[in-house]
Amino acid sequence: METLKLVASDLLMVVFAPPIMLGIIAKTKAAVAGRKGPPVLQPLYDTIKLLGKGAVYSKTTTWMFRLGPVVSLAAVIAAAALVPLARAPLISFNGDAILFVYLFALGRFVTITAALDTGSSFEGMGASREAAFSSFAEPALILAFASLAYRSGGLTLARMFAPYGGPSAAASTVLALGSLFVVLLAENSRIPVDDPNTHLELTMIHEVMVLDHGGPDLAFILHGAELKLALMASLLVRLVMPEMPLVGAVGSLILGLAATAVVIGLVESSMARLRLIRVPQLLVAAICAATFGLLLTLR
Amino acid sequence: MTLILAAVLALGAAALLSGLFSRHDPWARSAVIAGLAAAAACAGALAERALAGREVPDLLGPWLLPGAVFHVGIDPLSACFLLLVLIVGCCAGLYGEGYIAASHGHVPSTPARFFFLVLVGSMALLVAARNALLFMVAWETMALSAFGLVSCEHGKPEVRKAGLLYLLCTHVGSLCLLALFALLGSNAGSLEFSAFAAAPPLPAAWTTAAFLLALVGFGMKAGFMPLHIWLQEAHPAAPSHASAAMSGVMIEMGLYGLLRLLALLGPISLEAAFFLVALGLVTAVFGILFAMTQRDFKRLLAYSSIENIGIILTAAGLGCYGLARNNSSLALLGFAAAILHTLNHGLFKSLLFLSAGAVYQAVGTRDIEACGGLQKRMPWTCALTAIGAAAICGLPPLNGFTGEWLIYSWLLRPGAGHGLLLGGLAAAILAVVGAFAVVTFSKCYGLTCLGQPRSATASAAREASWIMLGPMALLAALCVGIGLFPGPAIRIAFTAAGDVARAAGPAAAASSEEWSRLLSVIGLLGVGVCALSALLWLFRKSLLHRREVARGPTWGCGFSAPTARMQYTGSSYPVPLTRVLAAALATREEAHPPVGYWPDKAAYESRTPDPALERWLPALTAKVEGWISVPRRLQYGRLQLYLLYVSAFLVMTLLWKL
């Protein structure tokens, strides 16, 4: 019964939390702009609607184009098994943090190749940018993980992302949090790196890669992207937020995710997208912050 | 132990027969296949016995050369590399038959067969050699047969140039090795490897000299930056099955040499270990950076070999750190990661070189910019290329991830000490290398196989023959198999690493069990990803079952007449990165942009020359030429004078001895 409850709560987190998080971001942005905005559940409605639609495939495409959304979603779901969502993660072992990073890389690789499969110059452009910018995000992620692993004494996500009370805890947490937050924005195509709601394909990164996908394929991609955001956000939440009384582990995680969504919404409302040549500079700043964090853990 | 001799003899006999039957193609082909099969059977049985931990007695025979003993033996380290030689050698050899047939006489069959078999045989002998002279003979045979393969198509001027460059480089390396063995031999009083191990340690200054000689001698073959200059020229020049064997196995013999020396001579200093790690990281970063900018498929792969050699060297350096710190578990982990990545690299790199050959035969060019859309025309080749590309990026659930994961685990292991900052930074550099590899190989696979054909030859491409596809499929299956079920490969790597790390058997076995348990979890998760993908695929199929599924043109964002030429190209794809890293790459661009209201012809050309080959080497040779201009006065080019020199030298040596 206990395991059943655990699986049910995990499933809840994997299926429902991600779209709702995106809904909260949209709602926050609307509220700041003085609009009413779409309902919080709109991303979920979109996904369900897309699952019921047919599809149009370009004549240029091959099986790679169809495989991309499937494998990228599977990789993100596998990554979810490693993340301590509400309680202990489904699978946890020494070194799972590296696998977590590389599962995202797998998802990125298949998304990029699926985009190149269309032979469209726009999608090639998106693929080229995605591949380039993630090259700066990945070292920041690894450096932040390194400082967390060193200070917690284990290379497992569950140990790294837990409240920590050792020496210079606050400073190293803040630095890791800062760099991870920038990586979260960059990897999940949020402002200031990418704008998922723009109408000009020329300025997009992630969205332009999936221009040709429709129907269930697009639903898989959207849900994969939302889940990726939720997974990274839940790591950040666990890093700073202890379990709160009254609401329990699941409740505090959900509250934390909602708060993260509001913060992302506020960031998106308060600034414009950076010029593309500025994006590497932002990510290098994240690398520097993570390196300082690493320095602080060495004493 | 006679089995290794039988394998080498079988390969030699097959080489001679294939040369004899140069007019009877089917006979020569049967000789090649029979020779490879016999060698595989003999040496495979031997490697299995050595890896299972059973004692294999050495074989000693007399030899006419002074100081030389024909001494061969096999231990797990040798067995591990022997296995690699055999797998890649057999796959590439079989593929080569299809490749030679498909080339319609462009690849001269006799030298391609002869030198290939000699190359495989000499490498099998090399890993078993237990005497420095035998080692050098095998090493030189390997180097020269590779020269024969590189200059197979010597009708082309660029091939001749590449061959000559390779020959020069490999001899610089061999000279260093001769000096190294002379040094070690004079210290030990014998050229037997066992004598090296038993000899008293060298004086400090000589140790440094020996380290540098080994680094240059083996590094020249392996391609450590900046000694890599011949690699990116020679690999594209050779026929593809030969480049697969050269890139997948031959350059790794340089690493075998280093590991063997470490096993014989024991730990090196801490500074030297740090130096190896730094050299490995520099090699990895610059290797992949230059790979990214290439538009020649095989040149890209050659640079990526340099990158992988860098990763392996990093891991070996980490192992040396463990040895220097007297921490056998760290040493074991580092060396095991190096050996595992060596095995993995041999598999996926030779797979990719074989794919490059199939594409070259079908399209008639190695230029990525002229390919595209091949997946519709060559579905099997492209599917196998996709597996190779994903494996070389180190993505789970394929084999490339297992070795890299071990290196990350070494670097990010928690513990006390000032080494941690360096560990974290090294891990970040590895992450950069991994991300750049994704750029490089999504370009290499995506722009070659996907999209629309960029040339008429690409749109007329035909699938390769089954004799080419079969070996590729076998290599791809090994890549997937090791990724999903890494247990056996891990055990092989740790057993072999036990020799280098000087860890006693039980300690190595325990450590191997621990890491293979962790990696099995990763493998299981990989199986999970595959199963989940299959489920999602079925779910998608069932969703689309009753819906309308239409086919149309690619969405052109409102532009109604997009053409294949508007696609991203191999040069434009990495531009967001190359612009940022312009200082390191020094890409030369020549642009004539369209000017005015009625623009004339516009042109753009970019090229990333290799700095070591095109800037540093000429500067160095100019310096050296200056130095040797003095002794050059002795060179008059008259035979009588040279005879005089010889007799004068003889008289001088006689006087010395008096």
Binary contact (A139, B522; C-beta < 8 A): no
Name residue B367's beta-bridge partners. B296
DSSP letter (8 states) at residue B104: T
Alpha carbon dihedral B340, B343, B344, B349, in 10-degree steps, equals 150
Q: Using CB atoms, pick whichever of A112, A141, A153 lies closest to residue B446.
A: A112
User: What distance in Å separates residue A167's CA from the closest CA in chain B?
Assistant: 14
B639 and B524 share a domain? no
| Residue B589 three-state SS | strand
Could you say which of B530, B550, B576 is where a domain stops? Answer: B530
- Cβ-based contacts of A56 with chain B (< 8 Å): 549-552
What the block records as the tokens of B306 is 């340099």
End-to-end CA distance of chain B: 47
Specify if B192 maps to a domain. Answer: yes
- Quick check: helix, strand or coil at residue B242? helix
Scanning every residue of chain B, which has its alpha carbon at the shortest distance from the alpha carbon of A50? Answer: B543
Q: Are residues B507 and B648 in the same domain?
A: no
Q: Which residues of A touch B434 (CB under 8 A)?
A: 102, 105, 138
* Residues B15/B89, Cβ–Cβ less than 8 Å: no
List CB contacts (< 8 A) between B371 and chain A.
none
B194 inside domain: yes
Q: Which of A106, A283, A284 to mutate to test the interface with B (most CBs of B within 10 A)?
A: A106
Residue B328 lies in a domain: yes
B529, B545, B566, B578: best mutation site toward chain A, by most A Cβ within 10 Å?
B529
Backbone torsions φ then ψ of B604, nearest 5 degrees: -150, 135
Helix (H) or strand (E) holding B344: helix B328-363
Rounded-to-integer distance, Cα B117 and Cα B10, Å: 10
Beta strand pairing status for B549-552 and B588-592? unpaired
- Which pairing describes strands B549-552 and A55-58: parallel, antiparallel, or unpaired? parallel
Q: Are residues B519 and B616 in the same domain?
A: no
**Test mutation, A48, A102, A288, chain B, max B CBs within 10 A:** A102
B206 φ, ψ (degrees, to nearest 5): -70, -30
Q: Which residues of B touch A54 (CB under 8 A)?
A: 544, 547-550
Residue B80 lies in a domain: no
Q: Is B550 domain-assigned?
A: no
Helix (H) or strand (E) run with residue B590 in it: strand B588-592
Among the partner residues A109, A119, A295, nearest to B395 by beta-carbon distance: A109
Query: Structural domain of residue B615, as residue ranges?
Result: 611-657
Dihedral (CA of B484, B485, B488, B493) sign: positive
Q: How high is the pLDDT of residue B418?
A: 54
Q: Which of B482, B506, B530 is the last residue of a domain?
A: B530
Residue with tokens 């790597």: B493
DSSP B22: T
Chain A residues with CB-CB distance to B373 below 8 A: 60, 119
Q: Which residues of B6-45 are buried (b: 16+ CB within 10 A; e: fewer)?
A: bbbbbbbbbbebbbebeeebeebbbbbbebbebbbebbbe
Which of B386, B421, B564 is the closest to A298 by Cβ? B421
Question: What is the length of chain B?
Answer: 658
Residues B323 and B439 in one domain: yes
For an interface test with A, give the residue of B536, B548, B579 to mutate (most A CBs within 10 A). Answer: B536
Chain A residue whose CA is closest to B379: A62
Is the peptide bond between A192 and the residue preceding it cis, with omega within 30 degrees of 0?
A: yes
Asked if residue B176 is part of any domain, the answer here is yes
Contact state of B434 with A138 under an 8 Å Cβ cutoff: yes
The tokens for A273 are 């997208």
Quick one: A34 exposed, middle or buried, by C-beta within 10 A (0-12, 13-18, 19+)?
Answer: exposed
> Can you list the residues of chain B whose pLDDT is less than 70?
1, 415-420, 503-505
Distance from CA of B495 to the nearest CA of A (A): 22
Expressed in percent and rounded to 5, the helix, strand and coil fractions of chain B are 75, 5, 20
Domain check: are B501 and B621 in the same one? no
The pLDDT of residue B324 is 86
Q: Looking at chain A, which residue has its C-alpha nearest residue B571? A: A128
Of B408, B532, B552, the CB nearest to A77: B532
For residue B344, what are its two tokens? 């993995």
Asked whether residue B106 is assigned to any structural domain, the reply reads no
CB contact under 8 A, A78 and B537: no
State ipTM.
Answer: 0.95
Residues of B in contact with A134 (CB under 8 A): 435, 438
CA nearest to B160, candidates B148, B170, B174, B172: B148
Residue B44 inside a domain? The answer is no
pLDDT at A25: 93
The SS3 of residue B592 is strand
Instruction: Let me know how many helices (H) and strands (E) chain A has, helices first.
Output: 12, 1
Of the candidates B140, B139, B86, B160, the one whose C-alpha atom is nearest the C-alpha of residue B117 is B86
Q: Are B562 and A142 within 8 A, CB to CB?
A: no
SS (H, E, C) B527-569: HHHHHHHHHHHHHHHHHHCCCCEEEECCCCCCCCCCCHHHCCC
Q: Give residue B6's identity as a one-letter amino acid code.
A: A
DSSP annotation of B152 = T
The pLDDT, as a whole number, for residue B415 is: 66
pTM: 0.94
Per-residue pLDDT tens digits of chain A, which is 299 residues long: 777 877 787 788 888 889 999 999 999 999 999 999 899 999 999 999 999 898 899 888 999 999 999 999 999 999 998 998 877 788 888 889 999 999 999 999 999 999 999 988 888 899 999 999 999 999 999 999 998 888 888 888 888 888 777 777 888 888 999 999 999 999 888 888 888 777 677 777 888 888 889 889 999 999 999 999 999 999 999 888 877 777 778 888 889 999 999 999 999 899 888 888 888 899 999 999 999 988 888 76
> Into how many domains does chain B fold?
2
Considering the domain architecture, whether residues B525 and B626 belong to the same structural domain is answered as no
> Phi and psi dihedrals of B591, rounded to 5?
-120, 135
Q: Which of B515, B530, B545 is the last residue of a domain?
A: B530
